[in-house]
Structure 1
């Protein structure tokens, strides 16, 4: 697929299987998001997400399922949530799923809101919009990883949000991708090939204690 060692794949790799795994992950996120309601505990929704994945016959979870409420939407993947918050009537949350179908790693994430707080709704939409702009730049300009995240940072600031540069995307592949040591997309000094990299966008509100997250496969 590529001469770049950080884009190595296993013998069973298939871009069609990657796209299938991604489609199934998005299906799971949609189903879980529709079942999350105000009054639920963050821990309860994580357990509910695992059941959704099981019902969709995923083979295994390859990274821990995350659901973050409120101020916990500012946390990075490796940081623990503060407490076990209850989702409010006007609140914000995101889902981050990584599961295996057909031996390939799906990984997707999106932010949702309850109620009608306009600032929260704008934050959730901004993460997705910024993702779409960066993805379009990758497609049209064939930018390397560091350039994509510089572009993302500049456009986040222009949109009035703060980009979390501790989150810079990563490899996926036929399971397990980790044996290839691909590192972060934001550190990959070449234009990423399709079907191998997750572009992650995490933003923070400039003054209020919450943020938003969106990620998908560059495919």
Structure 2
């Protein structure tokens, strides 16, 4: 069941979304060669809690950290720890926060120092694919109109869209209905109506879309070892168009 949010609830989600957006902006300042993913996690948790919010991810189904930190061929759900970032790496950081009982959720892929043009282009196209999808996030359209635009844009540039992991509704729960694939045929799925709040998150690979879960039962990697990027915002469907709640 898709839970439609009232204006007061969306206002609460603006606050939680702002915490997430500011956390990611803060982390970007620290993403440099030599820092560990565990240190980034510590910085994120400290900042989230300083805003009287709670990290959404910590303890969620047993996840041990406040952010997901996925490096290079890691797609999503990378566990922060002792891994040291190296010049030329890319890192996808997924972050969530709860404030006033409502979640915000967003992800960005950052460059670590100077990166290859191949990696730079991947990050750019992943972000642009999100915004192409958002052009269709208007009342009266179908959910798959967003999905289709994301897929078309990414694939038109020679990339592949991860199929095994999708976006989701969000509110008082981190994951609510509906599921939001980043691929598919337009004109399908529920109609978009005012008050829907969606976490839209293309995951884009340089190589094939196939992925597998590592032995820690969390970290998802590309099967062919190629780079992957991730871009996500929490988006409210409103009468005057979509509002991105997790931009600073």
User: TM-score over 0.5 for the alignment?
Assistant: yes
Deviation at 1:14, TM superposition (A): 1.4
Partner Cα separation in structure 1 for residue 81 and residue 226 of structure 2: 15
Aligned residue for 1:198? 199
Aligned residue for 1:54? 49
Can you give the 5+ residue segments of structure 2 that lack an aligned partner in the other structure? 59-66, 209-224, 237-248
Of 57, 63, 83, the residue aligned with 1:63 is 57
Deviation at 1:199, TM superposition (A): 0.7
Partner Cα separation in structure 2 for residue 200 and residue 142 of structure 1: 21
Cα 1:81–1:102 shift into 2, 3 Å: closer
8 Å CA contact 2:49, 2:55 repeated in 1: no
Partner Cα separation in structure 2 for residue 142 and residue 214 of structure 1: 25
Deviation at 1:111, TM superposition (A): 0.8
Alignment of 1:40-189 (within 5 A): 40-58=35-53, 60-64=54-58, 65-72=67-74, 74=75, 76-77=76-77, 84-116=82-114, 117-139=116-138, 142-173=140-171, 175-176=172-173, 181-186=176-181, 189=189
8 Å CA contact 1:111, 1:212 repeated in 2: yes
Partner Cα separation in structure 2 for residue 45 and residue 82 of structure 1: 8
Deviation at 1:205, TM superposition (A): 1.2
Partner Cα separation in structure 1 for residue 140 and residue 231 of structure 2: 21
8 Å CA contact 1:202, 1:212 repeated in 2: yes
8 Å CA contact 2:19, 2:48 repeated in 1: no
1:72-115 C-alpha deviation (Å, 9 max, x unpaired): 2x2x34xx559853211111011111111222111111111022
Partner Cα separation in structure 1 for residue 229 and residue 82 of structure 2: 18
Can you give the 5+ residue segments of structure 1 that lack an aligned partner in the other structure? none
Of 6, 22, 27, the residue aligned with 2:22 is 27
Calculate the TM-score normalised by the size of structure 2: 0.72
Q: Report the 3-state secondary structure (helix = DSSP H, G, I; strand = E; otherwise coil) of the residue aligned with 2:150.
A: helix
Aligned residue for 2:244? none
Of 3, 6, 20, the residue aligned with 1:7 is 3
Q: Report the 3-state secondary structure (helix = DSSP H, G, I; strand = E; otherwise coil) of the residue aligned with 2:119.
A: helix
1:170-192 C-alpha deviation (Å, 9 max, x unpaired): 1111x2365xx524123982133
Partner Cα separation in structure 2 for residue 99 and residue 164 of structure 1: 25
How many residue pairs were aligned? 205
